[in-house]
Amino acid sequence: MIFKHYIGIFKDKSDLEIILSDDEVINITGMMGSGKTTLAHKIQKEKNIEFISLDWMFGASLKNRPEYIKNLLVSFKNEYPELKKKKEYYEYADKIYNYLLKNISYPVIYEGRHIYMYMNLDVLKGKIIIKRTSLIHSYKRAFKRDMNNKIKEYKNNEIKINEVLNRLYERIKIPFHDYIIINKYIYKIIQENKEKISE
């Protein structure tokens, strides 16, 4: 039954892996706090290959963004001038992914929620790994990480209290919304790749 592949509310499940093509690309996705980045770094270390967080391309995690990614993003914006006025441009997720594929040597790891949130399945190359950490465990990890960071920034006078409260509201609202979306994504990817998955 297809339901056994879904992400649970309380119980973690092993990662769901599906080979989509022969390309040396590993796509890692999952809810916030599911352990995507941890897994990406583990594979990067084991295989000594390139790792790219899709957050770098969408205006997040700027402190960790390498210089060559900044340059790639500038080139991408030159190709799509309407993006220069935007901070976040999720409707261009497929185009960004294809642009990276053309400009980054294989093998490579791409990691981010953007894969299940904004990208079409038919653009993905290589293998996809979906982290199936439970909703509760993902939520707890993401909430603790993000709120600790925001409180630290507030104590350092880097942000105002309303920004802390806004993040608190987001972290309460987003996980349940994402939980529904990612399970719909799992349903779709299984329907399109039935022959590659052992029941």
Say if residue 44 is exposed, middle or buried (CB neighbours under 10 Å; 0-12, 13-18, 19+): middle
Listed residue (152, 184, 149) closest to 170, CA to CA:
149
Say if residue 64 is exposed, middle or buried (CB neighbours under 10 Å; 0-12, 13-18, 19+): exposed
Q: Vertex 103, ends 82 and 81: CA angle to 5°?
A: 10
pTM for this one? Answer: 0.86
Joined together, the tokens standing for residue 141 give: 């990890």
Rounded CA-CA distance 15/37 in Å is 14
**3-class secondary structure, 52:** strand
* Pairing of β 127-130 and β 25-29: parallel
Say if residue 7 is exposed, middle or buried (CB neighbours under 10 Å; 0-12, 13-18, 19+): buried
Q: What is the pLDDT along the chain (199 residues), one digit of tens a residue?
A: 667 899 999 999 999 999 999 999 999 999 988 999 999 999 999 999 999 999 888 765 566 788 888 888 889 888 888 876 766 678 889 999 999 999 999 999 999 999 999 999 999 999 999 999 999 998 888 777 777 777 787 788 887 888 777 777 776 666 788 899 999 999 999 998 877 765 5
